[in-house]
């Protein structure tokens, strides 16, 4: 979701709760509706409007699980969005099982070397970093970075984001020399 489109999102925002309200009485659980709720919840999370986002994202997760199944990639995406919302609110214990679930689904459906699996690894690592569990975060960042370098190349935006996240972790761990080396390391083109 591009920040440049936020004014459009704000204009359309009133329709998402109406969609959610309409879904329940009609017992309509279309995946498209779940996606609308999830994306609207993501927008609200980005705007730090957590209480508005929570109902929509929780509903999107429930609908996705019911409609697509517990092992579907849409369910993993909805779980990750809900986990991110919880993490932003400091609800780490609620976020962790959802991030873990999203990672399990990604690995099962796409394999351990897929970029979406790397994204799930990065998300879980970020949660551990926010909790100060640096030793648990580090191997996840290392693995995510290796996947992105291999699959997307060393200069891809996703690779650079994870590398930056890992550098930030190393700095928090007091390993500044390693952080500087990683920042300045010239990675060979893929």
The region of weakest confidence among 11-20, 77-86, 100-109, 179-188 is 11-20
- Rounded mean pLDDT, 132-138: 98
The region of weakest confidence among 35-49, 81-95, 99-113 is 35-49
Helix axes 50-68, 15-26, angle to 10 degrees: 40
Contacts of 159 (CB under 8 A, 6+ apart): 145, 148, 149, 152, 153
In this prediction, residue 38 carries a pLDDT of 83
Instruction: Indicate where the chain has its CATH 1.25.40.10 domain(s).
Output: 1-110, 111-190
Torsion angle, CA of 123/129/132/133, rounded to 10 degrees? 70
- Rounded mean pLDDT, 5-12: 64
User: Is residue 29's pLDDT more than 60?
Assistant: no
Instruction: Residue 150: name the closest of 110, 109, 190 by CA.
Output: 190
User: Is residue 67's pLDDT more than 70?
Assistant: yes
User: Is residue 133's pLDDT more than 90?
Assistant: yes
Q: May I ask the CATH class of domain 111-190?
A: mainly alpha
| C-alpha 165: how far from chain center | 14
User: Is residue 24's pLDDT more than 80?
Assistant: no
CATH assignment of 1-110?
A: 1.25.40.10
Q: Return the beta strands (E) in the chain as ranges.
A: none
User: Is residue 28's pLDDT more than 60?
Assistant: no
User: Is residue 57's pLDDT more than 60?
Assistant: yes
- What is the chain's mean pLDDT, rounded? 87
- Rounded mean pLDDT, 132-159: 97
Instruction: Residue 152: name the closest of 125, 190, 124 by CA.
Output: 190
- Rounded to whole angstroms, the Cα distance separating 123 from 139 reads 13
State the pTM of this model: 0.83
- Rounded mean pLDDT, 52-60: 89
- Rounded mean pLDDT, 40-69: 88
């Amino acid at each position: 979701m591009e920040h440049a489109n936020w004014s459009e999102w704000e204009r359309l925002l009133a329709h998402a709760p109406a969609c959610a309200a309409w879904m329940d009485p009609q017992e309509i659980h279309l995946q498209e509706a779940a996606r609308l709720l999830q994306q609207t919840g993501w927008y609200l999370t980005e705007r730090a409007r957590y209480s508005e986002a929570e109902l929509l994202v929780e509903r999107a997760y429930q609908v996705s699980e019911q409609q697509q199944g517990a092992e579907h990639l849409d369910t993993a995406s909805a779980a990750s969005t809900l986990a991110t919302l919880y993490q932003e609110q400091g609800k780490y214990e609620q976020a962790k099982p959802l991030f873990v679930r999203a990672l399990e689904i990604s690995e099962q459906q796409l394999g351990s070397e897929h970029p979406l699996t790397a994204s799930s690894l990065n998300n879980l690592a970020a949660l551990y970093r926010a909790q100060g569990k640096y030793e648990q975060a580090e191997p996840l960042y290392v693995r995510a970075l290796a996947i992105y370098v291999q699959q997307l190349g060393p200069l891809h935006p996703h690779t650079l984001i994870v590398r930056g996240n890992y550098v930030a972790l190393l700095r928090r761990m007091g390993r500044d020399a390693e952080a500087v080396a990683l920042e300045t390391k010239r990675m060979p083109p893929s």
